[in-house]
């Protein structure tokens, strides 16, 4: 029985998600897997706003290329990072049970933020919703991994940062949350909180092995959300959120 190679980005959260898949796969099938870290374009261009980088799939393109080049067997993604148009030679046999879909604030609650407080997020969707609620805030584009963003709050460079609750939960950092934002305040991104595993279409063995990790309820919701995203031609450059 072959050892599967799981491709992932190098952030703490991405590696946590890949390790989660590795453990779930072993628990369900007894199959061993190893983690292969791959740097994506989105990881390399940490200081440029996502709008300026442009293009779709900046966090997954290199992973998909590694799949097609057969240097890895599986790729683990946050569903919200996956464009609606993916290569025809690749499939998603597993969409795992979804985590919390909500956004949250770290550093301060929304009500306690002073006028002109500097708040960071890289998401146009989050910026648009925060700007609607608190037009007096100084919203700044903030790139970097979760740990980098938290350090900027600790240092006082930012008074708060807006993040995905699921990401903080997975990293064991839920205690850092100052306020959980309801979907009525901040609608989540398409696929937020969900993890998907991608493999080659022709690799039916890997697809079958991933089947136990698939959660049908989450898959159904993600398919519907992504269909709407596609119809609206949405992506990182469109501030689109959906009610859960």
Mean pLDDT, residues 223-227: 93
Residues sharing a CB contact under 8 Å with residue 202, sequence separation 6 or more, in sequence order: 89
CA distance 184 to 25: 36
CA distance 76 to 223: 17
The pair of three-digit structure tokens given for residue 63, joined into one six-digit string: 């992973």
What's the confidence (pLDDT) of residue 226?
92
CA distance 25 to 30: 7
Looking at per-residue confidence, does 75 or 231 come out higher? 75
Q: What is the pTM of this model?
A: 0.90
What's the confidence (pLDDT) of residue 43?
64
C-beta pairs of 166-170 under 8 Å, 24+ apart in sequence:
166/98, 166/99, 166/100, 166/101, 166/192, 166/193, 167/13, 168/104, 168/106, 169/99, 169/100, 170/13, 170/16, 170/17, 170/20, 170/99
Interval 19-33: pLDDT, tens: 999 999 999 999 999
The structural domains of the chain, ordered by start, are 4-99+189-231 (3.40.190.10), 103-181 (3.40.190.10)
| Through-space distance between the first and last CA atoms of the chain, rounded to whole angstroms | 40
Residue whose C-alpha is closest to residue 167's, from 144, 197, 184, 183: 144
Mean pLDDT, residues 51-74: 84
Confidence of residue 241 (pLDDT cuts 50, 70, 90): low
Confidence of residue 46 (pLDDT cuts 50, 70, 90): low
Average confidence score pLDDT of the chain: 91
Confidence of residue 56 (pLDDT cuts 50, 70, 90): low
Looking at per-residue confidence, does 93 or 44 come out higher? 93
In 10 A of CB 228, how many CB atoms? Answer: 13
Residue whose C-alpha is closest to residue 240's, from 114, 139, 116, 127: 127
What's the confidence (pLDDT) of residue 231?
85
Confidence of residue 236 (pLDDT cuts 50, 70, 90): low
CA distance 151 to 114: 20
Interval 155-180: pLDDT, tens: 999 999 999 999 999 999 999 999 99
**What does DSSP assign to residue 113?**
P
**Could you list the active site residues?**
81
Q: What pairing do the DSSP bridges indicate for beta strands 90-95 and 74-78?
A: unpaired
Residues sharing a CB contact under 8 Å with residue 238, sequence separation 6 or more, in sequence order: 124, 232
CA distance 16 to 46: 20
**Does 60 score more than 70 pLDDT?**
yes
Interval 87-138: pLDDT, tens: 999 999 999 999 999 999 999 999 999 999 999 998 888 999 999 999 999 9
Confidence of residue 2 (pLDDT cuts 50, 70, 90): confident
């Amino acid at each position: 029985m072959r050892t599967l190679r799981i491709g992932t980005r190098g952030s703490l959260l991405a590696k946590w998600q890949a390790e989660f898949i590795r453990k779930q796969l072993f628990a369900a099938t007894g199959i061993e897997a190893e983690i292969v870290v791959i740097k994506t374009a989105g990881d390399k261009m940490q200081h440029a706003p996502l709008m300026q980088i442009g293009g779709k799939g900046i966090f997954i393109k290199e992973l998909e290329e590694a799949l097609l080049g057969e240097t890895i067997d599986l790729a683990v993604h946050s569903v919200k990072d996956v464009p609606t148009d993916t290569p025809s030679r690749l499939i998603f046999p597993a969409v795992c049970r979804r985590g919390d879909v909500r956004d949250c604030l770290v550093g301060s609650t929304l009500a306690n933020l002073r006028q002109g407080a500097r708040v960071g997020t890289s998401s146009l969707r989050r910026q648009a919703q925060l700007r609607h609620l608190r037009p007096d805030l100084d919203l700044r584009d903030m790139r970097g991994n979760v740990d980098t963003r938290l350090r900027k709050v600790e240092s006082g460079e930012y008074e708060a940062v807006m993040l995905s609750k699921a990401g903080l939960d997975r990293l064991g950092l839920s205690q850092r949350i100052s306020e959980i934002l309801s979907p009525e305040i901040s609608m989540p991104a398409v696929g937020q909180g969900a993890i998907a595993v991608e493999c080659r279409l022709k690799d039916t063995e890997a697809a079958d092995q991933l089947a136990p990790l698939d959660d049908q309820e989450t898959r159904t919701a993600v398919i519907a959300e992504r269909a709407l995203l596609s119809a609206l031609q949405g992506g990182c450059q469109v501030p689109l959120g959906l009610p859960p």
